[in-house]
């Protein structure tokens, strides 16, 4: 059983753009506990009031799977642990586990701490021993261990031995600068394992884009604990991504690290943490990203329809994800056939598919992009079916943007559409041209489709495709619309931003009404 030690709430929050409130940290901790990790590092109680509050509130929570760990450093030079405020803060946190980091690289001992090698060894051993005597489990994080070992193997090992004498249950080898190569990690972990005969852990950073590989290599050489963060959050280039480490351990190496049935929750955990951190999830994250099992090339999709393993290394459902077929100018008939089937449409690979495929390729050459606009693709497929009748038909629209003295800038739009044989002509003012079009179209549709009022424009993205053309550049507009929990995306593109917006807006309403009334 490999121990999973999560440090998202401490090391992860050192990443750029990440700031978690105490409530945020507690919500994430409870999610991680339910997920089944072994240790949750809540923070550094000696560094800030928020982490002190976290540990105080964590004491009142019943943790089912994880042990809460408090992080801190060894005592200061020429100071005993009982007189060191950082060590006392760890004790006062009442966390059952204390994770101490200490220096193992002589460069840091002499130039950063500005003390002697022997004093550093004392600091390590006495700090660990003091916390053990206070009834705490202690994990020792050997900071900069791989750099220290390469500089002076003997002294780096002495530091681990000092922590072992003090009573540390696990000695964690940290690649703090993230620069170690995988072969170096393999060789060094093997050497430490053979000489110390003590439980080891691994803590890697991703500055060489090797954090996951280095963690797996360390486990194969005998490490029983992996430290990392959800989504790889962390300082500089981040930490080892547990959302990659855990599936590789369980699926590829056959090593248990979660309770039964929990691996399928890992995609949900990834999205949950990114949502709480107010960061968009990286769609290309292995295993858990929205594009991890997305297929675009026509040859790939054709092969996938014959055998899903032809272009997937695992079944997406194992990690709670799903396969997606992307539609673009690179698509083949198989892409559209798969998309139609996922939408519940019965469509053949004949003229209907060919017509839509040709239309997509033509439109993408004009600036459209359908990868993130599946609702527009659905409509194109639906419109090829002889029994499909669109809920409305656009006849004309106009938009005026004016400046009037005493009022400033305002926009007015008129829309003329045909609904069930009736021609409806409406006008509306808005904060801008797209808002005015949105309001006018809703007014025109409301009498026949009152459900349109529940449609919420949740996102509006504009991208300039050929900036060298200045104000005559082609503009792509992507609109996200939401009705309750259902969300869909549509696209438009044109050298005229109003035309591009109208296309995306009209498609978003047509798709929503189609889904509601099919």
Query: Are residue 210 and residue 136 in the same domain, yes or no?
Result: yes
171 pLDDT band (50/70/90 cuts)? very high
pLDDT of residue 300: 57
Instruction: Indicate whether 430 and 500 sit together in one domain.
Output: no
The pLDDT, as a whole number, for residue 135 is 97
Residue 282 maps to a domain = no
Domain co-membership, 310 together with 387: no
Q: What φ, ψ does residue 415 adopt, rounded to 5°?
A: -135, 130
Specify the pLDDT at position 330: 47
Which pLDDT tens digit goes with each residue over 410-424?
899 999 999 999 999
Q: What is the mean pLDDT of the chain?
A: 89
Global model pTM greater than 0.85: no
Shared-domain flag, residues 428 and 462: no
In a domain, 284, yes or no: no
Largest Cα–Cα distance of the chain, in whole Å? 91
Same domain (yes/no): 434, 503 = no
287 located within any domain? no
Which pLDDT does position 371 carry in this prediction?
63
**Higher pLDDT pick, 42 / 338:** 42
Among 73-77, 359-363, 434-438, 461-465, the minimum mean pLDDT is found in 359-363
| 468 in the same domain as 417 | no
Q: How many domains does the chain have?
A: 4
Residue range of the domain that includes 440: 401-448
Q: Which of 256-265, 378-387, 402-411 has the highest mean pLDDT?
A: 256-265
321 burial level (CB within 10 Å; 0-12, 13-18, 19+): buried
| Residues 462, 443 within the same domain | no
Same-domain check for residues 261 and 186: yes
284-309 in b/e form (b: 16+ CB < 10 A) is ebebbbbebbbbbbbebbbbbbeeee
Three-class SS of residue 71?
A: strand
Number of neighbours of residue 261 by Cβ within 10 angstroms: 8
DSSP for 270-308, written as a single string: HHHHHHHTT----TT-TTTSTTTTEE-SHHHHHHHHH-G
Question: How far apart are the C-alpha atoms of 231 and 229, rounded to whole Å?
Answer: 6
Tell me, yes or no, whether 165 and 204 share the same domain: yes
Same domain, 459 and 439: no
In 10 A of CB 435, how many CB atoms?
17
CATH code for the domain of 266? 3.20.20.70
Q: Which of 51-60, 341-350, 484-493 has the highest mean pLDDT?
A: 51-60
Give the helix/strand (H/E) hosting 266: helix 266-276
Its sign, for the CA torsion 66, 30, 95, 242, is positive
The answer to the question of residue 283 being in a domain is: no
- Listed range (79-83, 155-159, 468-472, 483-487) with the worst mean pLDDT: 468-472
**56/323 Cα distance (integer angstroms):** 43
Residues 424 and 384 in one domain: no
Q: Clarify whether residues 110 and 210 are in a common domain.
A: yes
Rg, the chain, Cα only: 29
Share of the chain above pLDDT 90, in %: 64
Give the model's pLDDT for residue 298: 58
Q: What confidence tens digit (pLDDT) does each residue in 317-326 have?
A: 999 988 766 5
d(CA 226, CA 230): 12
If one counts every other C-beta atom within 10 angstroms of the C-beta of residue 56, the result is 14
Q: What is the mean pLDDT of residues 143-155?
A: 97
DSSP code per residue over 105-157? SHHHHHHTS---HHHHHHHHHHHHHHHHHTT-EEEEEEETHHHHHHH-HHHHH
Domain membership of residue 373 (yes or no) is yes
Residue 79 has pLDDT above 70, yes or no: yes
Residue 332's SS3 state is coil
Mean of the pLDDT values across residues 116-134?
98
Provide mean pLDDT across the span 331-339.
58
Residue 396 scores a pLDDT above 90? yes
Least confident of 21-25, 270-274, 292-296, 500-504: 292-296
Domain-located, residue 35 = yes
pLDDT tens digits, 222-244: 999 999 999 999 999 999 999 99
What pLDDT is stored for residue 295 in this prediction?
67
């Amino acid at each position: 059983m490999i121990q999973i030690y999560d440090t998202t709430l401490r090391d992860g929050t050192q990443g750029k753009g990440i700031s978690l409130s105490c409530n945020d940290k507690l919500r994430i901790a409870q999610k991680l506990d339910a997920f089944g990790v072994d240790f949750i590092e809540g923070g550094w109680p000696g560094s800030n009031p928020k982490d002190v509050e976290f540990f105080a509130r964590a004491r009142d929570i019943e943790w089912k799977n994880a042990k809460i760990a408090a992080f801190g450093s060894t005592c200061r030079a020429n100071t005993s642990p009982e007189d060191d405020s950082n060590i006392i803060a760890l004790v006062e946190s009442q966390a059952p586990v204390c994770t101490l980091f200490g220096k193992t690289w002589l460069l840091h001992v002499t130039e950063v701490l500005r003390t002697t090698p022997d004093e550093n060894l004392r600091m390590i051993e006495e700090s660990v021993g003091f916390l053990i005597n206070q009834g705490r489990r202690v994990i020792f994080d050997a900071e900069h261990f791989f750099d220290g070992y390469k500089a002076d193997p003997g002294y780096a090992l002495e530091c681990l031995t000092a922590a072992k004498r003090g009573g540390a249950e696990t000695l964690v080898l940290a690649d703090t600068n993230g620069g170690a190569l995988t072969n170096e990690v393999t060789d060094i972990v093997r050497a430490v394992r053979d000489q110390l005969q003590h439980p080891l852990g691994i803590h890697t950073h991703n500055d060489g884009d090797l954090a996951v590989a280095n963690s797996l290599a360390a486990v194969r050489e005998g490490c029983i604990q992996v430290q990392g963060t959800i989504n790889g959050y962390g300082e500089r280039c981040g930490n080892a991504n547990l959302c990659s480490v855990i599936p590789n351990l369980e699926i590829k190496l056959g090593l248990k690290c979660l309770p039964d049935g929990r691996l399928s929750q890992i995609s949900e955990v990834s999205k949950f943490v990114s949502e709480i951190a107010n960061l968009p999830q990286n769609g290309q994250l292995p295993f858990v990203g929205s594009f991890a099992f997305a297929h675009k090339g026509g040859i790939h999709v054709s092969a996938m329809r014959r055998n899903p393993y032809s272009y997937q290394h695992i079944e997406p459902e194992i990690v709670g994800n799903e396969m997606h077929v992307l539609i673009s100018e690179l698509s083949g008939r198989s892409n559209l056939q798969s998309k139609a089937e996922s939408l519940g449409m019965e469509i053949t690979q004949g003229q209907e598919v060919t017509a839509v495929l040709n239309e997509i390729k033509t439109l993408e050459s004009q600036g459209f992009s359908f990868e993130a606009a599946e609702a527009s693709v659905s409509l194109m497929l639906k419109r090829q079916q002889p029994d499909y009748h669109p809920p409305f038909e656009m006849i004309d629209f106009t938009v005026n943007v004016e400046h009037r003295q005493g009022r400033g800038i305002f926009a007015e739009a008129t829309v003329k559409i045909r609904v069930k044989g009736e021609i409806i002509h409406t006008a509306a003012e808005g904060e801008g041209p797209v808002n005015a079009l949105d309001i006018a179209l809703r007014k025109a549709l409301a009498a026949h489709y009152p459900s349109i009022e529940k449609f919420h424009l949740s996102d509006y993205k504009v991208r300039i495709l050929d900036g060298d053309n200045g104000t005559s550049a082609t503009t792509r507009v992507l609109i996200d619309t939401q009705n309750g929990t259902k969300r869909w995306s549509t696209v438009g593109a044109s050298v005229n931003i109003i035309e591009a917006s109208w296309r995306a807006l009209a498609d978003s309403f047509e798709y929503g009404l189609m889904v509601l009334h099919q």
